Amino acid sequence: MSRRLPRKDVVIVGFGWTGAIMANELTDEGLEVIAFERGPWRDAPTDFPPGYMQDELRYRIRHELFLRPDQLTFTFRNKMDQTALPIRSWGAFMPPNGVGGGGVHWNAEMWRFLPSDFVLKTHLTERYGAAFLPLDMTIQDWGVTYDELEPHYDRFEYLCGTSGTAGNLSGKIMDGGNPFEGPRSRPYPTPAQAQPFSHTLFGKAARELGYKPFPQPSGNLSQAYTNPLGMRLGPCTYCGFCEWFGCGNYSKASPQTTILPHLIRKSNFSLRDNSEVVRINVDRSGKRATGVTFVDSSGEEWEQQADLVILSAYTMFNVQLLLHSQIGQPYDPVTNTGVVGRNYTHQTISSVNGFFDNKKFNFNPFIASGSIGMCVDEFNGDNFDHGPHGFVGGGYVGQVQTGARPIESTLVPPGTPAWGADWKKAVKDNYLSTVKPGTGVHGSFYAYRDIYLDLDPAYKDRFGRPLMRITMDLKENEIKQNKFLTDKFAEIIKAMGAEKLAVQYRTAPYDITTYQTTHLNGGAIMGADPKTSVLNKYLQSWDVPNLFVMGASAFPQNAGYNPTLTVGALAYWSAAAIRNQYLKNPGRLVDA
């Protein structure tokens, strides 16, 4: 029997970007807010000091800042007729842990989705006809539009101090920016970051091929910035330790650098770390959440009651908590009914490494920031005519080289032995003159009927609860899309002057052991119809109106961009709906 703690107005589950945003917004409304975080407290000066954060082995290879699989993991299989096996050590993606969540160790790539991404099904059907889409593809409109989200995109960009060059200012196309982006109401708060040598070469080559390259929008700051909450960020020093690492230099946007020092001083906010929420509690009607049950670090169970529950854990853990709490009907791919676990997606990432003449080229590839890049967006979303190509979706391509940490970045040209004297010589000859764009091709992943999440019948977590099972494979549409994008990308790398290329396409079967991105999406998606979505357009649960679910679990399918800016914008959008509508009249914000 769990012990009860005094009731609060709001309980927040998970304390990364969306938890911090919601806590700040709802405490501004005067509500008593308590947040729970499964992992430890983390702060820049204590946990990411520049004296020892530059440690590739500890943070990149041994995953120090991430969730431990023995705490919680998933099972995985490609197809419904296979036996799913547990992911015993992380591979394809890296679930975050601790205060700040993924906002601690992300690259800080700050992309807005395209206006057409939010009305994807409608848009593609109108342009190409319904028959153009693969039969089992289950893409949907989001229920929210780009225009509705724009002020919230803007707000998150200004919270983070985002560095970039505007491409579309209130409908006017701007030189040097992304001409395909949706209209933005203001320029970026800070100018684009400086670009290292290889990145400028990519821009030049892309321009010569007729594209319109632009600097990737970045949450690693080009200059000092004070955000609307009074938090001060410093200029990025291009150390090349962003992804997988925390920034001890206060120059990467994270909950720690943009929100927490402000939030924590409010008397109506508190946070419990090392406390894992295991269940959302509902009353007898099943229509009202009464709070959450959590387990502290000694294994004792507690109950926190609250009038409003905000689920803001990572994608997978949101979905898992809904399944374990029996909120919403679990998805069944056979009957194509139910919603929780439906439209789970990832990303299609590939890259091309370019090997250059080391007598002519020295890239100093270790000089970088997590989101530094020169990109082209001609092949994203529906920016080009898909008719002749027989697939839908796309992505940006770019020289996004975020550091050249030597365990992972000592590449050798194709055909070189993997060890021995020739390998050693090739490493020495190529390190400074190789272009290695991490996620050079960053493509969309659309939804399918037989790609989904449910509870595993065999494997259990440390509390004896079933693990969540991932059933996922790469489909023909995504394989074609990736081949098309990768070939376009290879042309640009070649035009930069590379002597040799190592081209690696994304192919089936989907592989859980090879890192792609941590951009997992769906499973608790938003939409206009409760039969095909878990949440309405304000991220409010259709079934339990005093429950809101943040994060990329709400994406009906994945666009060809990094998700965090959209995740943050959706949180601000949802918070505004709670503040302006829900609190005045608690109940469903949208009629089913």
Partner 1 sequence: MKQGTPTMIGLRRREFLAGTALLLFSATTVKAATIAGRLPWAPNAGNPPPPIKLGPWEFFNGEEGRAMEALVDCIIPPDPETPGGKDAGCAVFIDRQLAGPYGRQEGLYVRPPFQAGLKNQGHQSANGPAQDYRDGLAAFDRACKQHSGGKPFAELFGDDRIALLKAVDKGELKLDGVDGKAFFTQLVKDAQMGFFADPIYGGNRDMVAWKMIGYPGARYNYLDWVNRHNERFPLPPVGMTGNAQWTRS
Q: Does 178 bind partner 1 (CB under 8 A)?
A: no
Binding residue for partner 1, selected from 80, 224, 229, 458, defined by CB under 8 A: 458
The residue (of 271 and 565) whose beta carbon lies closer to partner 1 is 271
Residue 186 identity (one-letter amino acid): R
Q: Does 130 bind partner 1 (CB under 8 A)?
A: no
**Could you please report the per-residue DSSP string of 478-518?**
HHHHHHHHHHHHHHHHHHTT-SEEEEE---SSP-TTS---S
Cβ contacts of 511 within 8 Å, gap of 6 or more: 91, 92
- Minimum separation from the CB atom of position 351 to partner 1 (A): 19
The residue (of 207 and 424) whose beta carbon lies closer to partner 1 is 424
- Minimum separation from the CB atom of position 73 to partner 1 (A): 5
Q: Of 128, 164, 562, 215, which is closest to residue 380 (Cα–Cα)?
A: 562
Q: Does 55 bind partner 1 (CB under 8 A)?
A: yes
The residue (of 55 and 148) whose beta carbon lies closer to partner 1 is 55
For residue 519, indicate whether it is catalytic: yes
The two three-digit tokens of residue 301, written as one number = 């169970």
Binding residue for partner 1, selected from 229, 509, 529, 580, defined by CB under 8 A: 509
The two three-digit tokens of residue 505, written as one number = 């396409």
- Minimum separation from the CB atom of position 415 to partner 1 (A): 16
Binding residue for partner 1, selected from 185, 326, 337, 364, defined by CB under 8 A: 364
Q: Of 116, 178, 166, 107, which is closest to residue 141 (Cα–Cα)?
A: 116
Rounded CA separation 467/73 (Å): 7
Q: Does 45 bind partner 1 (CB under 8 A)?
A: yes
Binding mask 60-79 for partner 1 (x = CB under 8 A): -xx-----xxx--x--xxx-
Are 369 and 405 in contact, with CB atoms under 8 Å apart?
A: no
In eight-state DSSP terms, residue 273 is -
Q: Does 515 bind partner 1 (CB under 8 A)?
A: no
Binding residue for partner 1, selected from 214, 379, 431, 452, defined by CB under 8 A: 431
- Strand-pair category, 547-549 with 301-311: parallel
User: Which ranges of 255-314 does DSSP label H, i.e. alpha helix?
Assistant: 255-258, 260-263
The residue (of 67 and 392) whose beta carbon lies closer to partner 1 is 67
Piece in contact with partner 1 (CB under 8 A), picked from 277-285, 377-385, 426-434, 536-544: 426-434
Q: Does 460 bind partner 1 (CB under 8 A)?
A: yes
Binding mask 278-297 for partner 1 (x = CB under 8 A): ------------------xx
Cβ contacts of 447 within 8 Å, gap of 6 or more: 137, 138, 139, 140, 342, 343, 344, 345, 522, 556, 557
Can you tell me which residue has the tokens 């308590």?
A: 34
Q: Where are the beta strands (DSSP E) in 168-224?
A: 168-169, 172-173, 214-215
Binding mask 232-271 for partner 1 (x = CB under 8 A): ---x-xxx-x-------x----------xx--xxxxxxxx
Q: Of 479, 478, 482, 475, which is closest to residue 449 (Cα–Cα)?
A: 475
CA 585-590-592 angle, to 5 degrees, is 125
Residues contacting partner 1: total by CB under 8 A: 99
Give Cα separations from 259 to 154, 229, 461 (angstroms): 16, 7, 33
Residue 232 identity (one-letter amino acid): R
- Minimum separation from the CB atom of position 50 to partner 1 (A): 5
Q: Report the 10 Å Cβ neighbour count for 361.
A: 20
The residue (of 83 and 585) whose beta carbon lies closer to partner 1 is 83
Rounded CA separation 415/529 (Å): 53
The residue (of 173 and 194) whose beta carbon lies closer to partner 1 is 194
Q: Does 58 bind partner 1 (CB under 8 A)?
A: yes
Are 571 and 549 in contact, with CB atoms under 8 Å apart?
A: no
The two three-digit tokens of residue 444, written as one number = 């969309």
Are 135 and 448 in contact, with CB atoms under 8 Å apart?
A: no
Site for partner 1 in 380-409 (CB under 8 A): 404, 406-407
Rounded CA separation 4/16 (Å): 25
Q: Does 507 bind partner 1 (CB under 8 A)?
A: no
Site for partner 1 in 522-581 (CB under 8 A): none
Binding residue for partner 1, selected from 511, 528, 579, 581, defined by CB under 8 A: 511
Binding residue for partner 1, selected from 104, 159, 367, 375, defined by CB under 8 A: 367
Rounded CA separation 413/426 (Å): 8
Binding residue for partner 1, selected from 56, 148, 491, 499, defined by CB under 8 A: 56
Binding residue for partner 1, selected from 31, 233, 502, 544, defined by CB under 8 A: 31
Piece in contact with partner 1 (CB under 8 A), picked from 124-132, 383-391, 503-511, 529-537: 503-511
Site for partner 1 in 196-215 (CB under 8 A): 196-197, 200
Q: Considering 152, 199, 386, 519, which one is annotated as catalytic? A: 519
Q: Which residues are catalytic?
A: 519
